[in-house]
Each structure stands twice: as structure tokens, then as C-alpha cells.
């Protein structure tokens, strides 16, 4: 392996030096060793001392303005002169129509600094399309300085001093940054770049950035330069895998055993079929094999490069990061010591590599230039290896290219991006969720559209209704329009235009049309907003910049646009200038058909006089607004990362959306629907634990970087204080008000600052007070605002701050999610606390309150109602027994109240109140009818009350006094006057009496009283004979509830066969009796004995004329009654079904389960639905008439497939049971 010593310090584009200037200064005497491995040399060579260079661009921060003789100030594409100073290589100064560039006709730009400062160098960055338009690049120029204020606007002023001159300079590579030293330095307030020659003959000059550099400490040492010699696998067959084992990255590690022939050569490396020339700006020093064995359409899939160097401990200690440039075609991956530190497979959807010999990437017209910024975490003392893996896109690729002109070490802090593993990972939230009633999420959210378009022309005009403008100078041009949507849209557009085409709202709208991520940062004002924009453009917040755009991956609103196919305002309502009609395309489903003067002002391209006004998109539907979706997906995410300024960012997102109306691209309804889609996307990301890890990293990055900047510039790390130290930022109150207004456009602000009141009305009045249907993922968006709250408590905050229902795209009335009603801005800024009892308080409202303030029956207040009393009994006799309409009002607005009525009375009405945070309270109303009551209120024997009488106990044993010889007399009084009572008296003192009560509706109840006579001491009633005391034995087997237990009794007496009866009692309650036969009897007990252990008494009652007498005490036995198994009734899928017996996977389902009574035992408790082994939902069983029903709603979508089982929880009488069903989920 060829040894190489690299110790030449080079000038580089370092990160912002001020963040670690003190640390860097302390390193000024340290040493940095960057060297190659010398063959056979065991020691590490020592490099020269650290070189301190003028390598910071901090002086550029002093630039306050720029002027030019070709400013291109009318550009709305980021191509005006201000782009020259923004340190953003993705924008450029495009001096359009500048003509010849020469000494006589230079193109110049003058920077004005806030104060005089010394620049020691400068950088020039070529435009992002330099490779395609090389003739626009500068070739020769001068840099000049002055301190005369007159020079700020006079490029030829005599005070200008030449500081540097360059000629014969070449770029030709997209975004190439070249750094130059000034040959003469001094402290100047004005600096001029004077271009005197371009590379070609084009009449246009373009430069991405001109950045002044200062002499503040900072350092770099080159690891890789244009002269670096690389090892590479020279394999024309493309068949040798450098790591054929399980670990395909093994070849990238130090000391790897490398198969095949590895040659050494310098870059650039490349090949093009039939030539080694890939075009202007992409030279090739070492030609790579392209076609395998010379066969076309069978190109080499992959190429492999390695460079090895050593570091000593002092050098490693002084390195914080690496930066440089990598130019490639097609896909590339870079490794340091086996760790993947950079990957560009853009355009590839083929998943992770499983072999090195594979095609990857997307087709590139020209090689792509990437700026590398890599933390030093994977470097180590001793040998290090940098490896690069290059891929062709497919077997027919015509060219390949790899060049790393520079890679340098820096002592400055290097921002740490996400790892390639994190960047390339797939996340569950990447998959666009399915809708409830339509599989496409975006279409599902807008399903009200068809109903409104077909039945409510006052809301949305029919698709093809064109209403030309025939009025005069009226502004806005709303006469003749009938729909709210058209009126609001035309008003916003027309009023903006009336303020002038250079009005700030129109200028901002044009900028918003071109870009999202950086434009949204203006939410934070002139100070913090500028800091964040600079940090994004300069790469200081790589995690945030990547994440904000990554949020939307997997989302596609275009199918919804095509589905609803509604023409855009400029297409259907026409441009004010008839010359702009029809649209550019003029054909297709949505092609332009408008003729005559229209109503939409061309605010985007006011100077355009041709057809379509340069708008395009004629065949692209209006609903929903894709820009608004982008703005709210990204803006809502920004708001969660900087929660202290969420009101301002949510307002800015709404402003971004409103700009679509100003430009005439969209209607007000379009941006309303775009908002809810964007909000949902951000919520879905925060509901994905793996993606939340990325969000939290980005939040930490933002707080760190912006905190440092604020501390340096404003003297505080408090970002809110920092933001409000400048201008251009709204108060919380104003931001929240405007945001809420734009949720419905009932009222709205126009560009003249007036609040319009001719907006949308509520469409569905019946839905106004409906509780919010909370999307399951929505509460996750509040994690950074209320980290200590539970999911249900965050949902309570959203419910407490939501708007009323019934607006155009509110799906609450149809059982859909209430996305349009969720005011995320208000929720993010809610005042949340806890009461002393732990209740959640949101903006002064108790979100844990699940009480009622009133209950009504057929509109009349429930007698005796009190909020804290939960059980009531109401006699419906006077109402004819009909079940009344029961109304219930919650104490807290927005609380969900569910009333379940029985099919008929008597029965039970249950009112379930669910608080905003998910706590529930039940109110029960027992609905009775006196005509159905068949009970006694009193029962007497010989005028005395029966001991232990209870109207609900129907059998008794009464012991009469010793010596009683006459039959007792039973009397009874019914509970309800008028009920019929029939008494069958006992025929003797040891007999049985029955009382039958018949209610007015025919229902009956029978009471049974068994009598015994207490025996005389010693007993015996046979003259001349001695009494014989009987021996009584009894047995009983345990049963399950609702099964009749049988007591077997045997009575024996010496020399006699006892006659008479036996009684079985439990305390005073008679359970049954039987007459002896041959001294034995079997007593059948009631089926409804409670579950548990029962102590029973068995008493012998001898025949009055016999010799046998009863024992002194009854025989005691124990009966065990076990729980019974309830029977499962009908199980039915009522929502989320594929068919009658199948739950549709991917949907939220509702399953109705009927559980049957067992005897008198009601199946109270809960029912759980399982699909396979997974629990998907649980519900409480409610009595509805004579049925017991559980309505189980799955909280989440059913994702697994399998057989559906029902699990009943059981109660004190019925046991827990699992039932198979004929249902499936698939």
C-alpha cells in the first residue's frame, strides 16, 4: 500500500467559528497529525504544529444589505441580489439580461456592513445548475473595499481600493465553493465584487454566494485533496464482492482482508460508454470499467475505494469533525472505520442492500455534488480508513463518476446529522393511514364535499359553473356569486391585489409559493427567525432540516385532487385580464374553458399577458390544497419542536395557507382541508415511537443551536425572550385569534387589515353541540407541551379547546374523526393545572368532571335530581307505562353523554357521562309501572307479622305455639292498591298456606307459608304408649346456579315407621317441604339460590296422632352453589365490516354482543372481543328491554387477522367464559 503524508493546511469553509472560539484558541499550540500509513513503518509520524488560519465566515454576519447594477429584484424564485449574501447554496443571484461582461460593462455587487471590519478572504460558490450553464459562471473579477458612504451606491467611486484580482477561474460544478485570500487587507465598511469576465458568451451571470471571510482563529488540515491516491478494486467483470460474507461492510474496516486486485490511482474516477468524458465540469483522471467484458446493457454494478491514514492522540483530541465535497453518479455510500457516515441513494426505493454487487440510486443527468459534514466520533488513534462504495443505477447505465476533491479536519463544532441508519430506516408512520369510510385518508376527510356540491350551492358552486365579471370598478368582484366559497376567495384575492402588487402579503405569497421549510421560519420574527433560517441554510441544524421535510414522506394528496376534480379559482372564475384565459393546457378533464373577463387577479405574475398567466396546473384539482398540507405538516412539527413559540408558528402556517387564496390558486375550503390533513400528518408522526426519537433529537438540536445564537446576539438562551427582542412577530393573543378564524373563515382578515364578516356559516346546525370524536393519534401532538399528562388527559386538552361542530368538513355527525374542530394552536397554549383532588383543569374548566347538571323526562325536570346522586326510581303509571324521552345535560360543555333506554317498562335507563379526560360516571333510572307490581307490603299470621318478611322473599316457615290444634289465619296487603290478593288457608296447624298476588297487567307472585307446631317437652300423643324420638339424617349434592338441588331425608324411630313431613329452611326462609314415604323424602330446592355456601336446617314434623316425636334440634347440612355459565346470544359486526361475518382489517370496528340471562341472573359485567390472541376492545353490558347487550368499539384499527372470540368477564353469579363465534377478521 502506498504511503502518503498529508500535513498541508488548506483554507476551508468552516462552520460558524464563534461557537467555539475560546476552545479553538486554546488549541492553537496543539498538534494535528494526518498522515498515510507507511509500508513497514510501525511508528506514527509527527505532523507540523497546528496551523491557525483566517478561516471563519463570521464577518459575513455583519453584512446588512447588498446593491447591484443588475439586482433582478422582480424575481420571486430566490434569484435576486439578496440571494448572493444569504449563505444558501440552493439560491442564487441571477443577473438576467446583464449583457456582455467586461471592464467596460462589469456586473457588480456591493455589500454594506453594520460596521467596518477586516476581511482576510472570501468564498465564491457556483450556482446549483452550474454544470448545465457553465457559460454563466464568473471567470475574472476584482474585490474592492471602501469606507466612503458614497461608495455604497457608486461602484466607480474613487475611494474604492483593490484588495484582490482573479482571472481564468473555472467552476462548472454545481454548488462548488472556492475560497480565496485577499492580497491586501484593511478594515472596510463597504466591499465590492466586480465581475469583469464570464466563462462563456451568455448574457446572464449567476453566482450562488459571495461570502466574506475574517481572520478569526479556526483551523483545518487536509485529509484528502485532489492529489490523493486511492486504492480501488479493479474488477472489469463486476463479479468480485469485497465482503461476500454476512457482514457486507467488512471491507470498509481497518485491516480488512480484501479479495481481488486493488490498484492505486488518483481521482476523479469515471467512465462513459464510448468516451471517458462525462461533459463539461466532470473531468476523468482514472477510467473505470463500465461494460462487463465489453458487453453493453450489462454494466458493472458497483465500485469500491479505500484511503488509509493515521492519527495520534493529540491530533484526535483536536478534531471535532470532517468536511469536504463528494461528487458522484449514480449512488454512493461513505464509511469511516466500518461505520456508514454518508449515503446518497436518492431516487431509489429498492430497500436496504443485501449484497454489495447490486444496482442502486436514481438516474442522474449529471453527477451530483454533495457537501460533506461529518462528526469525528468514528475516528480513532492509529490507523483509520475511509471507504467509498459507488453504484450504477441499473444494467444499462451509460456512465459512472466518483470524485472527492477535499476532505478536511476541523476543530470547530460539527453539527451531528441523523445516522444513515436513522435516515434510511422505514417508520410505521411512513404509511399513509386508511380512512374510515374511504380507504384513501385524504379523500375520507373530505367526504362532505359531494353532499355540499350537490345540495348546497350556497356553500360550494357546482364544478362547471362559470360566472364572468360584468360589473364595473367594484372591489371585490363578488356580485353575482352565490357560494360562500367563491365570495370569500374572491374577496381575499381582490383586496390583496388592490393594495398593490408589491404589497408585503403578495410578495410573501410568491415566496411561499416557491418554498416551505425556510419561509416558515419568519414566524419567529426578525431575530430568531433569521437565526433559524441561517442555521438551516448553513447546515447547522441538519437533523431539523432533514426531519421537517421527512415528515411528509408517504403522504400523497394527488389522488384526492383527482377524485374531487374541482377547478381552481383562476380556471373556473377566470382572470380579470381576459388575455390570461383559458389555462395553458386548455384540454383534459379540468382544462380551461373560461372566456371573458373573470374575477381573479393575477397576483403571482402580474406582468404576464399570455394565456394561463404562467400559472399552469389547469388539469390539477383544487381540493385539497397541497401547499397548505405541506405548510401545516411542517409548521405543526416546527411548533412541537419550539413549544414556547407555537402560537406564532401555527399562525404562520395559516398565513402560508392563506397565501394560496391571495394568489388565486385555491379556494378557502381548499386551505381548510389542507390544514386538517397537515395537522393529522404531524400527529401521526408524534404517535410513532420510533419517529418520536428523531423528533426529540431535532428538538434538542434546535434548543442548543438557537440557544447559543441568542446568547451571543441577545444575551439570553430563552428562545421566547430572544424572539420578542426583535420585530416581525405577533403576540400570542393575535396569533391564536387569526388561527382560529382561519379554521372556518367565518370571519377573516384581508390584506388591508380589515376583518371581514361575510365568511362561512355553520353548515350542519344539528352537529353544533356534538362531542368531539377524537382521532386516536391526535393527542400525541401535545407530548412536548404537556409531557406529564397521559394520552387521555392530552385528549381532554384538545376537547376543551376544540371549536363547535357543524362546519363544512366536520365529520363528527357521520361518526368520523373531528379533525376540523381540533384547534391545535389553542391546545398547545392552554392553561393546564390540577385541582387539589387531582382533577385536570384546562383553561379553568374541570376536564375530569363527569357529572350532569340536569336530567329531563319528556322535557320535564327529573324530580329530586341532584348532580351527585346517581340512582333514581320513576313510576311511569301516570304516563301509561311508556318509556319517556330522557334528556341529560353535562356540567362541562363538550362532555360525551350517552343515554341507553330500555325497550319497555319496567326497565332500567342508563346515562353514561364521559369526562373530557375519559373518566365515566353512570346515572341509573329504574323505570317502574305500578300496574306491573305484584308484591305484598305486609303478611300476617293470626294478626302478627311473619318474622323476617320481605316483599321479595316468597317462602316462609312459621312455628305455631305448643298445643295449637286449629288452622292459622293468614292475611296480606298488596304493595299497589287495587292488586288482587287470593289466599288459600292451611287446613290445619301443620299445613301450608299460599298467597297469590295478581297485578293489573296480569303478572303474578305466589307466597308460601309452611306451619309447624312446636312439640311439648317429652312429647307423645299415643294413649298408653311411650313416645319415640326420631333420628333425622339428610344429604345434598352441590349444584350450579339455576339448577335445583335435592335434599334426601331419612327419618328413623325404633319399632316405628315415622310418618309426617320434612321441611328445609334457611333461617326463617322456607326452601321446600315433602311428605315422608316409608320414612324417606326428597325435597327439591329453588333454582335461584345464590352462589356460595348455604347452611340449611332440616326439620321433621311428625303426624299429630303418632307416637314418634321430632328431635329437639333440626339436622344441619351445607349446600354449595357454584357459578353458572351464561349463554351467548347473537354476535354481529355493525361497523367496520367486510361482510356480515367478517371484520375488515385496517378499520375500527363495532361488534354488538348479546349475552343471555341464566334464570333470574342478569349477565352484568363486561365483554371483551379478541381477534386471535389479541384483545381489540371491551365494553360494559347494558340492559336494553329484556336483552343484555354489549356494544364493543375497538379503540384502534384492527390490524391482525384470525377468528373472533367473545370473552365474558362474569359476575357474582355467572362465571367468566370464552365463546367461539363464526366471525373472522381479515
Residue 344 has pLDDT above 70, yes or no: yes
Residue 368 has pLDDT above 60, yes or no: yes
Q: What are phi and psi of 1169, to 5 degrees?
A: -105, 130
CA-based diameter of the chain, in Å?
Answer: 159
Nearest Cα residue to 285 out of 306, 303, 270: 270
pLDDT digits (tens, 9 = 90+) for 842-864: 999 999 898 999 999 999 999 99
The predicted pLDDT at position 712 comes to 83
Lay out the sheet containing 1046-1052: strands in order across. 1031-1036, 1046-1052, 1080-1084
pTM of the model: 0.61
pLDDT digits (tens, 9 = 90+) for 552-564: 998 888 899 889 9
* CATH for the 430-575+589-780 domain, from 3.40.50.720, 2.60.40.1180, 1.20.144.10, 1.10.10.10: 1.20.144.10
The mean pLDDT of 961-982, rounded to a whole number, is: 90
The mean pLDDT of 578-585, rounded to a whole number, is: 65
The predicted pLDDT at position 52 comes to 29
Please state which of the ranges 373-387, 598-612, 1143-1157 shows the lowest mean pLDDT. 598-612
The predicted pLDDT at position 801 comes to 94
Share of the chain above pLDDT 70, in %: 91
The predicted pLDDT at position 675 comes to 94
Residue 606 has pLDDT above 50, yes or no: yes
Pinpoint the alpha helices (H) of 664-783: 668-686, 689-713, 719-723, 732-744
pLDDT digits (tens, 9 = 90+) for 91-104: 999 998 888 889 99
Q: What are phi and psi of 1218, to 5 degrees?
A: -115, 135
CATH 3.40.720, applies to 225-414: no
Residue 23: pLDDT band (50, 70, 90) is very low
CA gap 774, 781 in Å, rounded: 13
Please state which of the ranges 215-219, 224-228, 235-239, 1146-1150 shows the lowest mean pLDDT. 215-219
The mean pLDDT of 727-746, rounded to a whole number, is: 95
Residue 518 has pLDDT above 90, yes or no: no
The mean pLDDT of 989-1010, rounded to a whole number, is: 88
Kindly report the average pLDDT of the chain as a whole number. Answer: 85
CA gap 273, 290 in Å, rounded: 7
- Coil, helix or strand at residue 561: helix
Whether the bond into 608 is cis, omega within 30 of 0? no
C-alpha cell at 1040: 350450579
Residue 1010 has pLDDT above 90, yes or no: no
Cβ-contact 847, 917 below 8 angstroms: yes
Fold of 1127-1225: Immunoglobulin-like (2.60.40)
The predicted pLDDT at position 1015 comes to 66
Pinpoint the alpha helices (H) of 259-387: 313-318
The mean pLDDT of 982-1003, rounded to a whole number, is: 90
Q: 934-1122 has which CATH code?
A: 2.60.40.150
Q: Which long-range contacts (CB under 8 A, 24 or more apart) does 425-428 make?
A: 425/690, 427/688, 427/690, 427/691, 428/688, 428/690, 428/691
CA gap 474, 1055 in Å, rounded: 124
Pinpoint the alpha helices (H) of 42-159: none
Q: Which helix (H) or strand (E) holds 649?
A: helix 646-662
The mean pLDDT of 683-687, rounded to a whole number, is: 94
The predicted pLDDT at position 688 comes to 93
Residue 584: pLDDT band (50, 70, 90) is low
The mean pLDDT of 1092-1097, rounded to a whole number, is: 94
CA gap 1134, 741 in Å, rounded: 38
Nearest Cα residue to 331 out of 391, 269, 406, 394: 391
- Coil, helix or strand at residue 325: strand
CA gap 138, 585 in Å, rounded: 38
Terminus-to-terminus CA distance in the chain, angstroms? Answer: 61
The predicted pLDDT at position 1201 comes to 87
The mean pLDDT of 1187-1207, rounded to a whole number, is: 89
The mean pLDDT of 195-215, rounded to a whole number, is: 87
Lay out the sheet containing 871-875: strands in order across. 871-875, 920-928, 907-914, 896-900
CATH 2.60.40, applies to 852-931: yes
Residue 128 has pLDDT above 60, yes or no: yes
- Coil, helix or strand at residue 251: helix
Taking the mean position of all CA atoms in its chain, how far away is CA 835?
29
pLDDT digits (tens, 9 = 90+) for 747-772: 999 999 999 998 999 999 888 888 89
The structural domains of the chain, with segments of one domain joined by +, span: 58-66+80-215, 225-414, 430-575+589-780, 852-931, 934-1122, 1127-1225
**DSSP for 486-550?**
HHHHHHHHHHHHHT-TT-HHHHHHHHHHH-STTGGGGGGIIIIIHHHHHHHHTTS-HHHHHHHHH
Residue 592: pLDDT band (50, 70, 90) is low
The mean pLDDT of 144-173, rounded to a whole number, is: 92
Q: Where are the beta strands (DSSP E) in 364-486?
A: 368-375, 382-391, 399-410
**DSSP for 169-229?**
----STT-EEEEE-SS--EEEEEEEEEEEESSS-S-EEESEEEEEB--S--EEEEE-TT-E
Best-predicted range by mean pLDDT among 288-297, 298-307, 767-776? 298-307
How many other β-carbons are positioned within 10 Å of the β-carbon of residue 365? 9
The predicted pLDDT at position 893 comes to 86
Kindly report the length of the chain: 1226
The predicted pLDDT at position 294 comes to 66
More confident site: 53 or 414: 414
The mean pLDDT of 201-207, rounded to a whole number, is: 87
Q: Which helix (H) or strand (E) holds 861?
A: strand 860-861
CA gap 794, 830 in Å, rounded: 11
The predicted pLDDT at position 575 comes to 85
Share of the chain above pLDDT 90, in %: 48
More confident site: 231 or 976: 231
Residue 1033 has pLDDT above 80, yes or no: yes
Residue 181 has pLDDT above 80, yes or no: no
The mean pLDDT of 1018-1045, rounded to a whole number, is: 79
C-alpha cell at 695: 423528533
Cβ-contact 684, 817 below 8 angstroms: no
pLDDT digits (tens, 9 = 90+) for 786-801: 999 999 999 999 999 9
The predicted pLDDT at position 42 comes to 25
The predicted pLDDT at position 351 comes to 73
**Pairing between β-strand 944-945 and β-strand 896-900 as defined by DSSP bridges:** unpaired
Q: Where are the beta strands (DSSP E) in 216-338?
A: 220-224, 229-233, 262-266, 269-272, 286-287, 302-311, 321-329, 331-336
CA gap 584, 581 in Å, rounded: 8
The mean pLDDT of 601-620, rounded to a whole number, is: 74
Task: Give per-residue burial for 77-99: e unless 16+ CB within 10 Å, then b.
Answer: ebbbbbbbbbbbbebbbbbeebe
The single residue listed with the C-alpha cell 476543530 is 411
Residue 408 has pLDDT above 70, yes or no: yes
Cβ-contact 941, 969 below 8 angstroms: yes
Residue 13 has pLDDT above 50, yes or no: no
Classify domain 58-66+80-215 at the CATH class level: mainly beta
Angle at which helices 646-662 and 504-514 pack, to 10 degrees? 90
Residue 8 has pLDDT above 60, yes or no: no
Question: Which residues neighbour 733 within 8 Å (Cβ) at sequence distance 6 or greater?
Answer: none
The predicted pLDDT at position 74 comes to 83
The mean pLDDT of 36-53, rounded to a whole number, is: 27
CA gap 793, 773 in Å, rounded: 15
CA gap 675, 72 in Å, rounded: 34
Cβ-contact 1039, 1045 below 8 angstroms: yes
The predicted pLDDT at position 54 comes to 35
Q: Same CATH topology for 852-931 and 934-1122?
A: yes
Residue 1096: pLDDT band (50, 70, 90) is very high
The predicted pLDDT at position 11 comes to 27
Question: Which residues neighbour 201 within 8 Å (Cβ) at sequence distance 6 or greater?
Answer: 135
Residue 215 has pLDDT above 90, yes or no: no
Residue 27 has pLDDT above 50, yes or no: no
Cβ-contact 895, 841 below 8 angstroms: no
Cβ-contact 849, 891 below 8 angstroms: yes
Residue 38 has pLDDT above 60, yes or no: no
Residue 1017: pLDDT band (50, 70, 90) is low
CA gap 80, 198 in Å, rounded: 19
The predicted pLDDT at position 402 comes to 96
Residue 521 has pLDDT above 90, yes or no: yes
Nearest Cα residue to 772 out of 801, 744, 732: 801
Amino acid at each position: 500500500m502506498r504511503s502518503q503524508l498529508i500535513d498541508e493546511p488548506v483554507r476551508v469553509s468552516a462552520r460558524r467559528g464563534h461557537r467555539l472560539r475560546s476552545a479553538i484558541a486554546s488549541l492553537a499550540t496543539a498538534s494535528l497529525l494526518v498522515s498515510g500509513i507507511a509500508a513497514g513503518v510501525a511508528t506514527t509520524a509527527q505532523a507540523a504544529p497546528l496551523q491557525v488560519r483566517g478561516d471563519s465566515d463570521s464577518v459575513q454576519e455583519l453584512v446588512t444589505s447588498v446593491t447591484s447594477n443588475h439586482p433582478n429584484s422582480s424575481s420571486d424564485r430566490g434569484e435576486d441580489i439578496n440571494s448572493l449574501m444569504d449563505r444558501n447554496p440552493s439560491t442564487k443571484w441571477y443577473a438576467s439580461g446583464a449583457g456582455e461582461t467586461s471592464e467596460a460593462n462589469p456586473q457588480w455587487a456591493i455589500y454594506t456592513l453594520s460596521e467596518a471590519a477586516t476581511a482576510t478572504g472570501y468564498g465564491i460558490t457556483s450556482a446549483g445548475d452550474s454544470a448545465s450553464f457553465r457559460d454563466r459562471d464568473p471567470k475574472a473579477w476584482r474585490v474592492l473595499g471602501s469606507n466612503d458612504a458614497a461608495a455604497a451606491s457608486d461602484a466607480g467611486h474613487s475611494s474604492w481600493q483593490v484588495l484582490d484580482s482573479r482571472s481564468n477561474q473555472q467552476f462548472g460544478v454545481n454548488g462548488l465553493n472556492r475560497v480565496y485570500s485577499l492580497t491586501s487587507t484593511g478594515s472596510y465598511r463597504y466591499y465590492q465584487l466586480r465581475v469583469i469576465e464570464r466563462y462563456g458568451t451568455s448574457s446572464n451571470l449567476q453566482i450562488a454566494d459571495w461570502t466574506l471571510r475574517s481572520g478569526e482563529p479556526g483551523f483545518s488540515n487536509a485529509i484528502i485533496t485532489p492529489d490523493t491516491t486511492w486504492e480501488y478494486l479493479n474488477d472489469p467483470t463486476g463479479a468480485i464482492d469485497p465482503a461476500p460474507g454476512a457482514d457486507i461492510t467488512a471491507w470498509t474496516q481497518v485491516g480488512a482482508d480484501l479479495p481481488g486486485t486493488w490498484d492505486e490511482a488518483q481521482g476523479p474516477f469515471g467512465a462513459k460508454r464510448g468516451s471517458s468524458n462525462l461533459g463539461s465540469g466532470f473531468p476523468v483522471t482514472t477510467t473505470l470499467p463500465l461494460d462487463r467484458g465489453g458487453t453493453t446493457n450489462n454494466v458493472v454494478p458497483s465500485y469500491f475505494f479505500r484511503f488509509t491514514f493515521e492519527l495520534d492522540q493529540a491530533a484526535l483530541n483536536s478534531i471535532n469533525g470532517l468536511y469536504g465535497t463528494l461528487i458522484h453518479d449514480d449512488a454512493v455510500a461513505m464509511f469511516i472505520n466500518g461505520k456508514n457516515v454518508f449515503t446518497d441513494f436518492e431516487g431509489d426505493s429498492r430497500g436496504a442492500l443485501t449484497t454489495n454487487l447490486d444496482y442502486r440510486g436514481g438516474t442522474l443527468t449529471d453527477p451530483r455534488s454533495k457537501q460533506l459534514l461529518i462528526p469525528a466520533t468514528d475516528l480513532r488513534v492509529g490507523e483509520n480508513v475511509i471507504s467509498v462504495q459507488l453504484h450504477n443505477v441499473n444494467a444499462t447505465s451509460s456512465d459512472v463518476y466518483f470524485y472527492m476533491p477535499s476532505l478536511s479536519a476541523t476543530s470547530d463544532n460539527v453539527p451531528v446529522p441523523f445516522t444513515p441508519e436513522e435516515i434510511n430506516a422505514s417508520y410505521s408512520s411512513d404509511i399513509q393511514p386508511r380512512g374510515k369510510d374511504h380507504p384513501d385518508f385524504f379523500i375520507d376527510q373530505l367526504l362532505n364535499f359531494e353532499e355540499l356540491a350537490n345540495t348546497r350551492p350556497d356553500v360550494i358552486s357546482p364544478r362547471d359553473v362559470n360566472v364572468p365579471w360584468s360589473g364595473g370598478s367594484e372591489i371585490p368582484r363578488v356580485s353575482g356569486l352565490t357560494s360562500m366559497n367563491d365570495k370569500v376567495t374572491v374577496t381575499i384575492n381582490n383586496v390583496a391585489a388592490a393594495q398593490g402588487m408589491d404589497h408585503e402579503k403578495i410578495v410573501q405569497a410568491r415566496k411561499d409559493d416557491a418554498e416551505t421549510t425556510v419561509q416558515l421560519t419568519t414566524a419567529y420574527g426578525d431575530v430568531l427567525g433569521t437565526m433559524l433560517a441561517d442555521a438551516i441554510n448553513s447546515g447547522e441544524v441538519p437533523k431539523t432540516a432533514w426531519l421537517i421535510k421527512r415528515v411528509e414522506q408517504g403522504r400523497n394528496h394527488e389522488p384526492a385532487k383527482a377524485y374531487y376534480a374541482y377547478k381552481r379559482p383562476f380556471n373556473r372564475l377566470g382572470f380579470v385580464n381576459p388575455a390570461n384565459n383559458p389555462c395553458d393546457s386548455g384540454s383534459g378533464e379540468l382544462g380551461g374553458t373560461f372566456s371573458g373577463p373573470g374575477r381573479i387577479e393575477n397576483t403571482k405574475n402580474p406582468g404576464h399577458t399570455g394565456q394561463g398567466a404562467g400559472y399552469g396546473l389547469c388539469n390539477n384539482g383544487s381540493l385539497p390544497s397541497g401547499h397548505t398540507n405541506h405548510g401545516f405538516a411542517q409548521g405543526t412539527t416546527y411548533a412541537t419542536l419550539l413549544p414556547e413559540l407555537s402560537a406564532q408558528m401555527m399562525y404562520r402556517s395559516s398565513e402560508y395557507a392563506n397565501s394560496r387564496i391571495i394568489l388565486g390558486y385555491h379556494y378557502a375550503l381548499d386551505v381548510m382541508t389542507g390544514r386538517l390533513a397537515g395537522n393529522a400528518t404531524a400527529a401521526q408522526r408524534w404517535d410513532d415511537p420510533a419517529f418520536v426519537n428523531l423528533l426529540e433529537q431535532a428538538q434538542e438540536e434546535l434548543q442548543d443551536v438557537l440557544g447559543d445564537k441568542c446568547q451571543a446576539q441577545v444575551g439570553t438562551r430563552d428562545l421566547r425572550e430572544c424572539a420578542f427582542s426583535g420585530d416581525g412577530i405577533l403576540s400570542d393573543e393575535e396569533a391564536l385569534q387569526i388561527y382560529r378564524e382561519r379554521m372556518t373563515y367565518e370571519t377573516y382578515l384581508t390584506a388591508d387589515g380589515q376583518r371581514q364578516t361575510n365568511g362561512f356559516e355553520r353548515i350542519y346546525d344539528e352537529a353544533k353541540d356534538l362531542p368531539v370524536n377524537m382521532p386516536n393519534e391526535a393527542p400525541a401532538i401535545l407530548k412536548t407541551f404537556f409531557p406529564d399528562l397521559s394520552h387521555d388527559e392530552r385528549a381532554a386538552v384538545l376537547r376543551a379547546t376544540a371549536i363547535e361542530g357543524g362546519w363544512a368538513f366536520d365529520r363528527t355527525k357521520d361518526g368520523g374523526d373531528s379533525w376540523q374542530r381540533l384547534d391545535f394552536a389553542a391546545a398547545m397554549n392552554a392553561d393546564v393545572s390540577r385541582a387539589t383532588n387531582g382533577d385536570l383543569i384546562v383553561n379553568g374548566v374541570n376536564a375530569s368532571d363527569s357529572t350532569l347538571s340536569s336530567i329531563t323526562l319528556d322535557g320535564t325536570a327529573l324530580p329530586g335530581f341532584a348532580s351527585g346522586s346517581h340512582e333514581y326510581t320513576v313510576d311511569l303509571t301516570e304516563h301509561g307505562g311508556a318509556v319517556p324521552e330522557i334528556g341529560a345535560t353535562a356540567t362541562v360543555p363538550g362532555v360525551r353523554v350517552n343515554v341507553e333506554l330500555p325497550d319497555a317498562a319496567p326497565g332500567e335507563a342508563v346515562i353514561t357521562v364521559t369526562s373530557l379526560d375519559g373518566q365515566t360516571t353512570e346515572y341509573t333510572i329504574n323505570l317502574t309501572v305500578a300496574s306491573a307490581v305484584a308484591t305484598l307490603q305486609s303478611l300476617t299470621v293470626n294478626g302478627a307479622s311473619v318474622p323476617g318478611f320481605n316483599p321479595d322473599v316468597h317462602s316462609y316457615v312459621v312455628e305455631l305455639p305448643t298445643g295449637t290444634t286449629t288452622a292459622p289465619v293468614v292475611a296480606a296487603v298488596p304493595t299497589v292498591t287495587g292488586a288482587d290478593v287470593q289466599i288459600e288457608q292451611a287446613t290445619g296447624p301443620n299445613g301450608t298456606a299460599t298467597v297469590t298476588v295478581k297485578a293489573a297487567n296480569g303478572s303474578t307472585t305466589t307466597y308460601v307459608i309452611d306451619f309447624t307446631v312446636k312439640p311439648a317437652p317429652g312429647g307423645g300423643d299415643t294413649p298408653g304408649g311411650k313416645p319415640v324420638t326420631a333420628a333425622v339424617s339428610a344429604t345434598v349434592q352441590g349444584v350450579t346456579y339455576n339448577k335445583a338441588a335435592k335434599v334426601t331425608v331419612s327419618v328413623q324411630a325404633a319399632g316405628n315407621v315415622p310418618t309426617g313431613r320434612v321441611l328445609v329452611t334457611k333461617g326463617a326462609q322456607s326452601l321446600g317441604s315433602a311428605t315422608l314415604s316409608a320414612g324417606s323424602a326428597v325435597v327439591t330446592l329453588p333454582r335461584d339460590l345464590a352462589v356460595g355456601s348455604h347452611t340449611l336446617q332440616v326439620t321433621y314434623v311428625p303426624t299429630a296422632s303418632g307416637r314418634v316425636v321430632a328431635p329437639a334440634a333440626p339436622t344441619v347440612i351445607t349446600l354449595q352453589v357454584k357459578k353458572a355459565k351464561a349463554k351467548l346470544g347473537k354476535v354481529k359486526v355493525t361497523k367496520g365490516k367486510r361482510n356480515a361475518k367478517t371484520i375488515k382489517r385496517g378499520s375500527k370496528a363495532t361488534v354488538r354482543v348479546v349475552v343471555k340471562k341464566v334464570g333470574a341472573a342478569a349477565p352484568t359485567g363486561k365483554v371483551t372481543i379478541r381477534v386471535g390472541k389479541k384483545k381489540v376492545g371491551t365494553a360494559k353490558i347494558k340492559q336494553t328491554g329484556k336483552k343484555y347487550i354489549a356494544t364493543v368499539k375497538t379503540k384502534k384499527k384492527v390490524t391482525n387477522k384470525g377468528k373472533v372470540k367473545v370473552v365474558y368477564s362474569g359476575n357474582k353469579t355467572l362465571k367468566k367464559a370464552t365463546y367461539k363465534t363464526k366471525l373472522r377478521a381479515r
